[in-house]
Structure 1
Amino acid sequence: MNVVDNQLRSLFENFPRLGRVEWIGIRPIKREAPEAVSEVVVSEREGLIGDHYSGRSGNRHVTLIQAEHLPVIAALTGHDGVDPGLLRRNLVVSDLNLLALKDHQIQIGSEVVLEITGLCHPCSRMEANLGPGGYNAMRGHGGLTARVIRGGIIRLQDAVTVLPVDQTETGRLNKD
């Protein structure tokens, strides 16, 4: 690896601050609105315990959206604000640029480690939830999907820490 590659890699791993969990939602029943909870148990095999998606897809155990995008989505749809439950994501995280987390793992609180697996694109339900144009308002603001590397409990206000690539736990990112 040359000097430029090392410098670029260093930039990709430098985050100015910790994130924070602002909202947690689970959907016990498919197509129902998420229920806001203060904490959720997370399992490596099942994902979020109590969520209808639990155990279905290892690459989409958890969905995350950036808190700072909520006012943008509200503005684009002509609303004063947007209830996070309408967006059908599990976690709302503030103070951290989620789109910069490609190829990273994050630790939430003292226990849970997630591996970011991709973008969480909006679904057609955004038209019903946000009104005409809701789907397009969410494009680019839909958040991320993640799989659970280490389970535990996620609580409101938990810190979200980006793990350096060389310190990631066993998963796809740890290629050694």
Structure 2
Amino acid sequence: MRVEIVALVVSPIHAFEGRPADGPRADPGPVSRDEVAVRAGLGLVGDRYFNRPAHRQAALTVFDASVLPAGADPVAARRNIVLRGFRVDTLARTREVPEGAVFSLDSGAGAVRFQAHRPAHPCAWMDVTLGSGAFRALRGRGGVRCVPLDDGVLRVGPADLEVRTSPR
């Protein structure tokens, strides 16, 4: 299936700690990338969750751009891989697929497989970054936490997405 990677986000620090009313910490640099390096089992090179044991099943988040409020910057959602053209939340584990779906993305440098795990629930910071009401509007549509199964490269632009039934 043809999709579009509309944003790739690598955040070296967690800028959203504390109370949303206090505002975020300043990021040390830009978070949007045209290309990212993916490492199997580890995540996106340079991201704050890369190779963190506590995030082994949540090394990165894939998000559906179509759920954003009109005119919202997809980078503001601070999800690592933002796609257009596929309902990403359907990949998360369910009763029918308790381990979550295995899917691949190929943006021209070869397919990279991912194991989807749990849904990525939005937080109150969404109202700060995307606008008032975003937190409530994104409940159940906050993306899916994944772990990469392959090393590879992803680029912003057209990509092929394939959902598989097993990691092999």
What interval of TM-score do these two structures reach, taking the shorter chain for normalisation? 0.7 to 0.9
Note the C-alpha offset of 1:26: 0.8
TM-score normalised by length of structure 2:
0.76
Residues 2-41 of structure 1 mapped to structure 2, 5 A cutoff? 17-31=1-15, 35-41=31-37
Q: 1:131 and 1:95 mapped to 2: Cα distance?
A: 23
1:52 and 2:36 are equivalent in the alignment: no
Aligned length: 144
Which residue of the partner structure matches residue 79 of structure 2? 89
Find the aligned partners of 1:94 and 1:130 in 2 and give their Cα distance. 17
> Does the residue aligned with 2:67 lie in a helix, a strand or coil?
helix
- Find the aligned partners of 2:12 and 2:48 in 1 and give their Cα distance: 5
* Greater share of helix: 1
Query: For 2:81 and 2:42, how far apart are their aligned partners in 1?
Result: 16
Does structure 1 residue 63 correspond to structure 2 residue 61?
A: yes
CA contact (8 A) 1:58 1:148 kept: no
Q: Name stretches of at least 5 consecutive residues in structure 2 with no aligned partner.
A: 16-25, 93-99
Runs of 5+ unmatched residues, structure 1: 1-16, 75-80, 170-176
Decide which of 90, 99, 105 is 1:100's aligned counterpart.
90
Distance 1:164 1:61, change over 3 A: same
Partner AA of 1:51 in structure 2: D
CA contact (8 A) 2:7 2:75 kept: no
Overall identity of the aligned pairs, in %: 28
Counterpart residue number, 1:43: 39
* C-alpha distance 142-35 of structure 1, shift in aligned 2 (>3 A): same
Partner of 1:4: none
Deviations 1:17-73 (A, max 9, x none): 332312111101221556110110011132100011111211111111112112xx3
Larger radius of gyration: 1
Question: Is the 2:105–2:161 Cα contact (8 Å) retained in structure 1?
Answer: yes
Distance verdict in 2 for CA 1:134–1:100, change over 3 Å = closer
RMSD: 1.9
Aligned residue for 2:147?
A: 147
| SS at 2:14 equivalent | coil
List aligned pairs for 1:124-139, cutoff 5 A. 124-139=124-139
